[in-house]
Amino acid sequence: VLATALLLGAMIALFAVGKSQLGLEAEGRLEDWLAGFRQGPWGLVAAIVVFTVSAFFGAPQFILIAACVVAFGPWFGFLYSWIATVVSAGVTYWLGRGPTARLLARHGGKTVGRLTRFVGKNAFHASFMIRNVPSAPFIVVNMAFGAA
């Protein structure tokens, strides 16, 4: 129970910091910063870094995608945001796969173990359900599936 409460508190703190630091003008600042990478080879790298770092702050994906489309144009913006989303999902999944999985195995208890086994045996159906029903933010879902 203590581990769950600490993890929940950490997630709330991350989202609170992200909300307070990014604010409403964040999209404009993000677009301007990304637009600086429009010319040259570093646009994709910048998009990947932004998507991966902002996953830890709970930034909404539609804002990040919109910023990429405005900064790089419709085609490159779509392509860069898609690649950056996949890389970000992979990073958060593997973070869940490593330290989070060990923490859950050690302190999770019977209920978490049962849920982990269910997701492990029915990964496609569990992924289909969680992606089509409004649920937790991107990072929480990816880390949970990584842990399971």
Dump the DSSP string for the chain: -HHHHHHHHHHHHHHHHHHHHH-TTHHHHHHHHHHTTSSSTTHHHHHHHHHHHHHTTT--HHHHHHHHHHHH-HHHHHHHHHHHHHHHHHHHHHHIIIIIHHHHHHH-HHHHHHHHHHHHHTHHHHHHHHHHS--S-HHHHHHHHHH-
**What pLDDT, on the 0 to 100 scale, is given for residue 83?**
94
* 8 A C-beta contact, residue 15 and residue 56: no
Binned at pLDDT 50, 70 and 90, residue 9 comes out as confident
Q: What mean pLDDT value characterizes the chain?
A: 76
pLDDT at 104 over 80: no
CB 64 within 8 A of CB 51: yes
Rounded (5°) CA angle 81-126-51: 20
Q: Quick check: 116 pLDDT over 60? A: yes
- CA 116-100-111 angle, to 5 degrees, is 30
Q: How is the chain split into domains, by residue range?
A: 2-147
Look at the pTM and tell me if it is higher than 0.75.
no
Residue (of 61, 67, 56) closest to 21 by Cα position: 56
CA distances from 94 to 33, 48, 91 (A): 28, 16, 5
